[in-house]
Structures are given as structure tokens and as C-alpha cells.
Amino acid sequence: MLRTALRNLIAHKTRLIMTALAVVLGVAFVSGTLVFGDTVTRALRGASADNLKDVAVSVQAESEWESESDAVEDRSTALTGDLAEKVKDVPGVTSVRPTVNGTATLATKDGRPLNADMSWQNLATNYAPDDHDRDSRYPLSTGRAPTGEDELLLERRTAEKAGYELGDTVRFAVNGPALTGRLVGTVETDDPRVTAGGSLVLFDTDTAQRLLLQPDRFDELAVGSAPGTDNRQLAQEVSEVLPEESITATSGAELAKEQADDIVRSTGEMTKVLIAFAGIALFVGIFLIANTFTMLVAQRSRETALLRAVGASRRQVVRAVLIEAGLLGLVASAVGFALGIGIATAMRPLLNMAGAGLPDGSLVISAGTLVWSLVVGVGVTVFAAWLPSRKAAKVAPVEALSTVDQAPPKRSMVFRNSLGGVLTGAGVLVMLLVSTQEGGDDSNLLAAAFGSVLTLIGMIALAPLLSRPLVRLAGALTSRLSGVSGMLARENALRNPRRTAATASALMIGLTLITGMSVVGKSTQAALEDDAVRGMTAEYKVSDADFNGIEPALGAKVDDVPGVTASAPLTSSTLMAEDEFATVTGADPKRLERVTDLKFTSGSLAGVGPGEVALSEEYAEKTGLSQGDTFRAEIGAEDSQKLTVAGVYESTRVVEDVLGTYDDVLPYSEGGKLDSVLVGTAPGTEGLDQDIREALGNSPLLQVQDKEQLTKEEAGPIDLLLNMMYGLLGMTVVIGVLGVVNTLAMSVFERTREIGLLRAIGLDDRGVKQMVRLESVVISLFGAALGVGTGIFLAWSLGSLTGSSLTTYETVLPWARLGLFLLLALAVGVLAAVWPARRAVRLNMLRSLNAE
């Protein structure tokens, strides 16, 4: 039986090539993900270890906030210069490198902000040279170290992006107004935050303390030790000279381990996501593999009957089919593993081109990755071939005497249809229940996942039943357009509903997921876009990228910009009333009316005044307050005061929970600053953003955004996420295409005599090609219709979970994309039929009539 399995594998290698490709692609996805994950983990660990190679002990303290006045708070720590000297006197300590950390956002040479939307990634620190006038953390690539407050260094790639050269004056901002410094050098770094698109500015230590922290204060003391020192013991000795207030001393080895653990967790999450998509691709491949072996078993029924007649048991027949599948899976897995290594090799440079900033490192190919790749590939192939092998074992020895042309007996689909109906019904009920829930808590998400899986599996089970009406509908069109060829294509697709359903299901799964994500993504994007500018009639919004606020004096300068017709400074604070927390926005009602369009359900904006506030509908419902009510509230955690409800309005992003006057709220705002300034311009006036920036000091942290930029900032990441999902799920569509090609190719082989007879009675080569092509199109459109329909339903039912956090969320169908998916299915059908159709017309007519 082993020799029989080997002979069958070699004899049908052409028919099995598409099945092997499905396994190859799935295994390549798995092995590529594992190799890439291991490679990135080791590279990041190496970069982390390099950063800590000179750190024997790290002394760190929590940040403290010290108020110089009621309005200003400065960050500080308990690490001082005196403490650094004490640590340096500990036996075994050879050096102490004090470090100051913070952020600084640059302006490019042409005046535009650099990475202002990622200000948290714009790093700033001190350049701390050792006895050899070098800072080992940041090797100089050009120039020299800074020696005064008017000099600075930039990371080499940062300088290139910003367009600066040595000697240029660099504009930057730390937490407010624009500052300048002369560029005296550039440095290198492997910090992932910088290589991934951030920036790095370095000052001398005194300047860094003044700008980022406080004089004579540090964020970290990096302690060096002599070779052979027990750094864990040294950390304990250093701890003894430290004050007890929230200062810790950690050995470099422990710090490296903590960072390594963080890296493993972060890369592990990414690997899990990629493995999940690889699992989806392999799940789709199961349909292709099962379909292929089902057809092979049917074609070899006489051969199997002869084996049974000469003494082969059912178990031996099952074993032969599974051995054949195992060998196929083994070969395909080996090829897939090799392809996966190639994918992993290409992923890092591709991601770095997109700004991922992954460090260099050697490729990591572990034995575990090889074993898992082979286990997954062989396991999936054998599992998919198990049911066809049992079907082969049921072939009776007497069937060896029957003609090969005798149609196999049709199996009843009552049980399958009943099971499919139960599963689909249960899934639909669960999803309808999910559609009534609000909030994306774990229980709702688990129910949504369970209902989606039930629905999808139920639709797969019902696919043969659904194929008849849907294929007949599509076939009616092909018959009308293509006559006899179209009619034959329809009948061929209907001849074996199970096979048609299995082929279409591979496409259906991929399109269900892609459609569902497209609908949810488009709906969320539309809601975010609407939410970003709803109720705002102003052309521009001015804000601080680092959320440090804007000085009120700057806000007053906006009115002096030519072309500006109205402006409304906005400030905010916290408010607590009736045990319900809220954000209170302060604005001049008359100025606000000119740049917003608030919808009041009771009262009006004109009613807002000293001691009189307006409430959003949501906050009014929470507190039970309405127009005319008087209540006591704490603003900015201060003593409560008496307020009157002047009106109730529909909440917007501009004015969320409560609206009060500018003068009432500004004293309680953080730092006494503005959150933003809304700016209205004269009709037809464009391009005022740079003029507004110049009028307000042109700080790199200053954001002047129009409505398009505001909506893009809110909804832009959705498109990026969708494109990533399309790329990851594209593998399932590719495997679905392979399934259509394989099914058609093997179907052509099955119908060799039939095709010969059709050609003998007058069907020309064009008609044969058209028949195969239309059959492929009908099957593809059937899978697309099921996938798109199921995806829309699942997306609609999941909408309530998203809608609870986005009040403007409504299910929006992206008709253009849905139409594109259907056109894609049509193209899949046409392209998948190219090879089978050519094979059909190359059949010799006389030999076809004598084929068995």
C-alpha cells in the first residue's frame, strides 16, 4: 500500500500541483512569521543590549511636579549632582553618567514642523562626554560636542530629514515658544523610536536640565563598573547610599532582562496576529485539499475496488490515501518553509522603507520553526484528506466490474443541510443579540466572535443547498449571453453541488472577512470624520501638538492676521456635578457662535453667561438636569459653586459635556492656558495656515489644521489598517483562486469523453473554452455573493459595539469597494479558467471518445 501511495502521488503530480501550492503558501506564511518574529526579537534585544553595554547599574527616580506658582508646574526628580558624586564614591564604581530625558519638536529648514503629530517620539537628551570627550551612547558622525546653550546636536537621519547642515540655525520647541540653536554636529543611534521615524536632539547637560527638567536634576544615573565586578552586588551597595524616596538602583543585567521581556511581549503580540492570518489561509486551503482528494478518490474508484478485490482492507485504503496526503504535505511544507525564509528576509527592508525602523541583525532560523512548519503543513493536508480517505474505503470490490462512466450514486444532503441550517440560525441569533448590546467589553467581543464563527461555518455547510438557486440565477445570464456554452457551464456547475460549494467556499471565507472589515472600517471612518468637525464652521483649528496648551496672549493675535474674520479661544477644565464627571469648555458665546453651529434642543447659546452653563444631551441625561435647573458643581476640583442650566445642546468634539464662559473657566484650566483657537476666514480665502503660524510665533509644536487635515488625522489610520488587512487576507483569495483552477482542471479530466463528444457533434474550440470559462465565472461569482452578503451582515451586527463609543456611527456600505470585490471575483473566474480551458481544447477528439 505504501508503494501504491507513492505511485499515485507520482502519477497525479500535475493534478496535485495546485493543492501543493496552497500548502506551500500557508506554510510559508507560518514559517515566515516565526522566522521574522525570532529575527526581530533577537535584533531588538541586541540593540537594547548595546545601549546598556556600559551600564552596570541604573539609578532612576520617579518624576515629581513642583509648582512655582498656581498656574505653572515644572517636572523634577530626586536625582541631583550631589547624589551622583555619592554614587561615584561607592567602591567598584568607575563612572557615573547623568542623563536628562525629554522631548523636543523640530522645525524643518523651510519652517514646517517635523513629526509634530508624533511629538512623543521626538526625543531630546543631554550629550554627556566621558573622560575621552565621547558619549558612548551617541557616537559622533560629524562635528563636535555642544559647549553652550546656543549649540546642539542632531541625530544624522533627523538632520537629513529636516534639511540641516553643520552651522545652520535649528528651530525647535520643548513645551511652548520656538527656540533656536546652532548645529555643531550629528550623532548615530539605534534607538527604535528614532529609527522608526522619530527625531533626536542633544544639548549639553546644563542646557538639557534647564529646558527639559530643572537645574541640577537628572532622570537617570548610568553607573559604570570595573571588569569582573558583580553588578548585582554593586546595585545593592549603590542602593545603600540612596535616599529612600522613590529612587531605585537596578543592575544592568536586570534592566536588560526587563527590556528583553518587553520586547518578547511586543513582538509576540505581532507574531500572534500574523499567525492568526496564516491560520485563516490554511483553513481556506483545507477546502482545496479536501476537494482535490475527493475528486481523485472518485476518479480512482475502479482502481480502489480492484485493490479491495485482491485483499486490501478498508484500513489499508484509508492509510494509502493518508500516506499520499502526508507525502504531499511533507514536500509542500519543505518548499513552504524555504519560501517563508525568503519572505522573512524581505519583510524587514520592506517595513523599514515604510518607516518601521527595525534594527539590523542576522536571520534566526530555529529548529522549532522548522518542526512547526512541517507539523502544520503535514497535519493540515492529512486532516483535509481524512474524509475523502474514508469515502475511498467505502468503495465495494464489486465496483471493479462496473464501467468507469457510471455516475457515482448521489449522497443525501439532508443531514448536512439540517446541520447547516441549525448552525447558521444559531449564529444569526447570536449576532442579532450582539447587535442589541453596547460597549466592546470582553463578554460582548467573545459573543461576537462565537456568533461570527457559527454563521460562517453554517454558511459553508449550506453552500451546496444555496448553490442551486444562485448558480441557476447566474447561469440564466450566461445562457442568455452565450447560448449553448453558457447552458453547459451552468449544468456543469450544478452537476456536483458539494464540489461547487467547496470550491466557492474558499473564496467566500476570504471575501467575507475582507467585506466585513471594509464595511466596519468605512463606517468607523465616516463616523470619525463627521465627529472631528461636526458643529464646527471654522476653517482652521489652532492647537498645541504636545497638549501643553496655548498662551492666552497668543490666541488674541489671531484676529490680526489678514483674511481672518472671526476667532474663538477655547479653554477647558474638569467639572463634577451630581456625582458625574465632565469636561467643561470655556468660550465667549458671541465669538463661539461665529465659528460653530451648535444644535440646542432647549435654550440657546445666547443664554450662556456668568454662572450660567449649557449641558450636552448626554450629560443632562446622566445628571437629570434640564433648562432652568440650578445645581452645585466643582470646577477644577475647587470649592463648589452655584450654576444654572441655560440650555441643552447636541454634544460635539468642539464642545463636549458642558459649556461655560471663557472668564468662568480659564482660572481653573491647566496652566491657565487655551486648548485651541477656532479661526474663521473670509469666503474664498485659502492658505492662511502659515500666516497664522507666523503670527503666533511659528513654534514647531503649533498645529494649524483645516477641516480636511482634522478629518484625516482622525480617520487616516483606518485606511492604513484596512490596507494591511487586505494584504494579510489576500493570501486567502490567492488560495481560493488556486482552488478554482484545480477544480476546473480536474473536472476537465473527468469529462474527457464528454468534451470529446461535444466537439464531435460540432462544439468548436471557442465554445469549449467559453464553456469552461463561464463555469469558472459562475462558481467565482457564487462564492463572491455568499462572501459579500455574509460579510455585510456580520459587519452590520457588530456595529453596535463600535457605535457605543462613536455616537455618529452608522453602517455605511462602501459600494465602490463592494463592486470592486465582485469585479475581482469575475476576474478570478476568467483568469482561473485560462489553463483548464486550454487543456480542454488540446484534448484529442478520438482519444477523448475512447477515454476511460
84 and 145 together in one domain: yes
59 and 128 together in one domain: yes
Q: Is pLDDT above 50 for 70?
A: no
Rank 262-276, 617-631, 752-766 by mean pLDDT and report only the highest. Answer: 617-631
Residue 198 lies in a domain: yes
144 and 124 together in one domain: yes
616 and 485 together in one domain: no
Give the per-residue pLDDT at 595.
93
Residue 277 lies in a domain: no
Parallel, antiparallel, or unpaired: how do β-strands 179-187 and 151-155 relate?
parallel
Give the per-residue pLDDT at 658.
95
Copy the grid coordinates of residue 263. Answer: 520586547
Give the per-residue pLDDT at 619.
94
Read off the pLDDT of residues 651-704 as tens digits, 9 standing for 90 and up: 888 898 999 999 999 999 988 899 999 999 988 787 888 889 888 888 888 889
Rank 13-17, 393-397, 421-425, 473-477 by mean pLDDT and report only the highest. Answer: 421-425
Q: Is pLDDT above 70 for 222?
A: yes
Q: Look at 480 and 375; give whichever has higher pLDDT.
A: 375
765 and 621 together in one domain: no
81 and 193 together in one domain: yes
637 and 725 together in one domain: no
481 and 516 together in one domain: yes
Residue 300 lies in a domain: no
Q: Is pLDDT above 50 for 18?
A: yes
Read off the pLDDT of residues 616-656 as tens digits, 9 standing for 90 and up: 999 999 999 999 999 999 998 777 899 999 999 998 888 98
Give the per-residue pLDDT at 788.
93
**Entry pTM:** 0.75
Strand (E) or helix (H) holding 583:
strand 580-587
Residue 562 lies in a domain: yes
- Separation of alpha carbons 678 and 45, rounded Å: 46
SS3 percent helix, strand, coil of the chain, rounded to 5, is 60, 15, 25
| 587-623: b (≥16 Cβ within 10 Å) or e | bbbebbbebbebebebbebebbeeebbbbbbebbebb
Read off the pLDDT of residues 286-322 as tens digits, 9 standing for 90 and up: 887 887 777 777 767 777 777 777 777 888 888 888 8
Read off the pLDDT of residues 120-153 as tens digits, 9 standing for 90 and up: 789 999 999 877 778 888 999 999 999 988 999 9
Say if residues 73 and 671 touch (Cβ distance below 8 Å).
yes
- Separation of alpha carbons 838 and 730, rounded Å: 27
Residue 524 lies in a domain: yes
Q: What is the average pLDDT across 344-369?
A: 78
615 and 740 together in one domain: no
Give the per-residue pLDDT at 828.
82
Q: Which of 658, 675, 695 is the last residue of a domain?
A: 695
Parallel, antiparallel, or unpaired: how do β-strands 122-126 and 199-203 relate?
parallel
592: containing domain: 551-695
Q: Is pLDDT above 70 for 226?
A: yes
- Separation of alpha carbons 686 and 683, rounded Å: 9
- Separation of alpha carbons 835 and 776, rounded Å: 11
Residue 20 lies in a domain: no
132 and 245 together in one domain: yes
Residue 590 lies in a domain: yes
Structural domains in the chain (count) = 3
Residue 12 lies in a domain: no
Copy the grid coordinates of residue 187. Answer: 550623532
Q: What is the average pLDDT across 319-341?
A: 89
Give the per-residue pLDDT at 178.
87
431 and 473 together in one domain: yes
Q: Look at 802 and 826; give whichever has higher pLDDT.
A: 826
Average model confidence (pLDDT) for the chain? 84
User: How many separate helices (H) and strands (E) can be counted in the chain?
Assistant: 26, 26
Q: Which of 255, 283, 313 is the last residue of a domain?
A: 255
627 and 674 together in one domain: yes
Q: Name residues whose C-beta falls within 8 Å of residue 569's C-beta, 6 or more positions apart in sequence.
A: 550, 552, 555, 556, 587, 588, 591, 662, 674, 676, 677
Q: Look at 847 and 722; give whichever has higher pLDDT.
A: 722
Q: Which of 222, 255, 288 is the last residue of a domain?
A: 255
Rank 363-372, 476-485, 707-716 by mean pLDDT and report only the highest. Answer: 363-372
Rank 5-19, 376-390, 433-447 by mean pLDDT and report only the highest. Answer: 376-390
Say if residues 138 and 202 touch (Cβ distance below 8 Å).
yes
